[in-house]
Structure 1
Amino acid sequence: MLRTIQEWIMVFIIVGLITLVGNWIGYSVMPVKAIPGIIVLILISLAGLVLDKVLPFKVPAIAYISIIAIIVSMPGVPGSEQVVKWTTDVNLLAITTPILAYAGIAIGRSWADFAKLGWRSIIVGMLVLFGTYLGSAVIAEFILRIQGII
């Protein structure tokens, strides 16, 4: 378990550093200003992963991470205002870039496993991505029209 936690921490540090750079280049947020938010996000993620390993329930780790994040950012929870302030300095898209790159590398290392899925899985994957994109565009269009932005 300790080795796994060490590996998670290393991955989180690498993702955090890449996020800091992306946040700085893409959104002009100085890394020193975003470091507290990155640390909070890393700690929340690490706590959720540890809970997933320790608790006997069959719940995905993302559920634990989400619950912890909601609790620590709820009004009335001691320190929540500071948590929200710190994490606001970290842009969501700056976080997704290194995570998607890591996922791409992980898939790239196991092309043999990916090839075993067959061509049908690739078509299904493409349709899922297309449907997600199209659905997001329709929802965005609807919301922006309601708000009178477009």
Structure 2
Amino acid sequence: MTVNIPRLIRNTGLLAVAGMLVLITQKVGLGMPILDAVPGMIIIIGVADIALVIRDLFPKSIFPAFGWVTILGFLFSMPYNPLSVKFMEYTDKVNFMAITTPLLAFAGLSVGNKIDELKKMSWKIILISIIVFITIFFACALIAETVLRLRGDI
């Protein structure tokens, strides 16, 4: 249960490269100033690094680092968190759609490397995908419903 420092440093470097791609994409596609979004990107990379450390500390957990990033982002952005105002102020300057471009590229590369394993699953992968999509849809709807009710919007 230790943190793999060399891997963390390598992953931070990869996150920094991806962050630069996001900022360039944001500048080219949306005309948004790069320097305004740098603090937000540093925060996002920091949250991702924290998630990687958590994953290293709990190696037997089946919960992926991406899940930890989601939970941490949720906790940092909650209105009751004293850090949320600054967290949101800086991260709002990083466009979500600009982040999805390299994220989807990396996801595609990771799936491409496991194409032989996917072939072995044959028709089962379709069934699993449908179950996952339906579950995620209803989970998101339930979360949205709960938050909207708590806020008094519905």
* TM norm structure 2: 0.69
Runs of 5+ in structure 1 lacking a partner? 140-150
Question: Where does residue 66 of structure 1 map in the other structure?
Answer: 70
Partner of 2:108: 104
Structure 2: gaps of 5 or more residues: 142-154
Given the superposition, is the C-alpha separation of residues 102 and 113 from structure 1 closer, same or farther in structure 2, using an over 3 Å criterion? same
Aligned pair in 2 of structure 1 residues 127, 73: CA closer, same or farther (>3 Å)?
A: closer
Corresponding residue number in structure 2 for 1:46: 49
Matches of 1:21 and 1:125, distance apart in 2: 36
Question: Deviations along 1:59-110, whole A, 9 cap, x unmatched?
Answer: 6234432332233223354443221111101111111110110111122233
Of 26, 34, 39 in structure 1, the residue corresponding to residue 37 of structure 2 is 34
Post-superposition shift, 1:40? 0.6
Whether 2:28 is the aligned partner of 1:11: answer: no
Pair 1:55–1:112, CA change in 2 (3 A): closer
Tell me the amino acid that sits aligned with residue 43 of structure 1.
G
Superposition CA RMSD, Å: 2.9
How far residue 46 of structure 1 moved from its aligned partner, in angstroms, is: 1.0
Find the counterpart in structure 2 of residue 90 from structure 1. 94
Structure 1: which 4+ aligned runs deviate by more than 6 Å? none
Q: Contact 1:52–1:59 (CA<8 Å) still a contact in 2?
A: no
User: What is the TM-score of this pair, normalised by structure 1?
Assistant: 0.70
Contact 2:23 2:98 survives alignment (8 Å) = yes
2:77–2:88 contact (8 Å) kept in structure 1: yes
Residue 31 of structure 1 deviates from its aligned partner by 1.3
Paired residue secondary structure (1:29): coil
Q: Which moved further from structure 2: 54-63 or 99-108?
A: 54-63
Using the alignment, how far apart are the partners of 2:30 and 2:124 within structure 1? 36
Structure 1 distance, partners of 2:51, 2:107, is 19
C-alpha distance in 1 between matches for 2:29 and 2:128: 29
Asked whether the equivalents of residues 118 and 125 of structure 2 are also in contact (C-alpha less than 8 Å), the reply is no
Answering whether residue 79 of structure 2 is matched by residue 75 of structure 1, we say yes
